[in-house]
Structure 1
């Protein structure tokens, strides 16, 4: 892991610290457009314990956040069922920053501009700690999945195939 850059404090890290949530911020050099799997492997992390943050919009117009393993795809039908929607679709990349305050590849479930209903793939319960974006490219957070729930209320759900 790289040393924290001078401007390493993100909204996510500030919110975790303010809540007193046990976590570890991890920094790395991002080589261009790396996938979540490539980042996990480069950092020596168990790929199944590394989660990506996906933001969707429901048929009703409501927004939802889903955390799924980086090697998996979000099943939109399962996501819609978890959210109580008829259907959900991924938010377009250009809509992500104004909606959440985060860019594609650096979106964290913690510290978004507005709190949205959040769902975490049930496989997170298999791990003592999981990894997810710390709010910018090159930053990850490691923490117990249930501790995440102290900062961002969420429900576990079957979200992948």
Structure 2
């Protein structure tokens, strides 16, 4: 299957950062992250999903967490220094990020939003996240990704 370059991949190419692209079969709908990890035979702890929130100050914040975990919105707000954050509506994802649900990459959004990765990403040599299109995953060094998009790391997930 020929890989169609996404915005995220073009940005990584431009930055001359190494990455791998993995593809998986899907219908028209987004596939949940744990299923994607299983299809690609990856540890779900090393496969991350990108979630977009809006704060009480009407700023957008992006959080990148392992696919099997949920955001702790209180921890997220504290990590970015605001009173509160809530998930944006699915209908607003494309307008805010330029991506669609299930294909939202932390790289290459319409604007550079403050982005926070869950701190466990640093435990892995490579993490995987959406390549910017449903069916595409990018695997790369978490530190390269964090440096590229000027992200930070914090404990932002609910305790299981």
TM-score tier, shorter chain, comes to over 0.9
- Deviations 1:87-117 (Å, cap 9, x if unpaired)? 0000111111011100000000000010000
The Cα of 1:150 is off from its aligned counterpart by 3.0
Q: Could you tell me which runs of 5 or more consecutive residues in structure 1 were left unpaired when the two chains were aligned.
A: none
Q: Normalised by the size of structure 2, how large is the TM-score?
A: 0.94
Partner of 1:69: 66
Count of residues paired in the alignment:
157
State the superposition RMSD in angstroms: 1.1
Q: Normalised by the size of structure 1, how large is the TM-score?
A: 0.94
Partner of 2:5: 9
Aligned pair 1:41/2:38, yes or no? yes
Worse-matched range after superposition: 55-64 or 30-39: 30-39
In the TM superposition, what are the counterparts of 1:4-153 in structure 2 within 5 Å?
4-5=2-3, 8-31=4-27, 32-153=29-150
- Deviations 1:50-85 (Å, cap 9, x if unpaired)? 000000001001110000000000000000000101
Moved over 3 A (4+): none
The Cα of 1:9 is off from its aligned counterpart by 1.2
The Cα of 1:35 is off from its aligned counterpart by 1.1
The Cα of 1:140 is off from its aligned counterpart by 0.4
Pair 1:11–1:33, CA change in 2 (3 A): closer
The Cα of 1:29 is off from its aligned counterpart by 1.2
